[in-house]
């Protein structure tokens, strides 16, 4: 069965870095999209970044130039390298998976949590000022 397990969260000072991991099982990354999302209490889950089955990537405007998504096909794991962290990056970070859209014109939907089918349990990221 499909399973996603996030790790790597923690407490870091503003300006610091963390690397999150999303270990996938039950499917292979070269047939799926992995998205990173974050959520704070009382707010909707928001898209951070995704990496598609062909390795193409996209980022939310608020993380451009600070976060980098990558994957290791051998380990079947996706990473989110987060640099220059800000207090407003504090959230629970989740990875999710879905199938890539048949129409590439619909790729913009991959930063919306509603199109994802499976989720991990989340990992807390706290950035202190």
Averages of pLDDT over runs of 10 residues in the chain (129 residues) are 97 98 96 97 97 96 94 97 98 97 91 96 97
CB contact at 8 A, 98 and 107: no
The pLDDT score that the predictor gives to residue 93 is 98
Rg from Cα positions in the chain: 14
Q: Cβ of 87: how many Cβ atoms within 10 Å?
A: 11
Report CA 57 to chain centroid distance, whole Å.
11
In terms of DSSP bridges, do strands 77-82 and 67-72 run parallel, antiparallel, or are they unpaired?
A: antiparallel
3-class secondary-structure state, position 23:
strand
Quote the pLDDT of residue 64.
81
Task: Give the pLDDT score at 115.
Answer: 95
User: CB within 8 A of 50, min separation 6: which ones?
Assistant: 33, 34, 35, 36, 57, 58, 69, 110, 111
Instruction: Give the C-alpha separation, 88 to 21, whole Å.
Output: 20
């Amino acid at each position: 069965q499909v399973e996603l397990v996030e790790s790597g969260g923690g407490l870091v000072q503003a300006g610091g870095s963390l690397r999150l991991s999303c270990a996938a099982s039950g499917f292979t990354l070269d047939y799926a999209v992995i998205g990173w999302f974050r959520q704070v209490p009382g707010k909707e889950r928001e898209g951070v970044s995704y990496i598609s089955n062909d390795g193409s990537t996209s980022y939310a405007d608020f993380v451009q130039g600070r976060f980098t998504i990558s994957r290791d096909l051998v380990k079947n794991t996706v990473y989110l390298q987060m640099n220059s962290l800000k207090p407003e990056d504090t959230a629970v970070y989740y990875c999710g998976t879905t199938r890539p859209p048949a129409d590439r014109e619909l790729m913009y939907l991959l930063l919306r949590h509603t199109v994802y089918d499976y989720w991990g349990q989340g990992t807390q990221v706290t950035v202190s000022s």
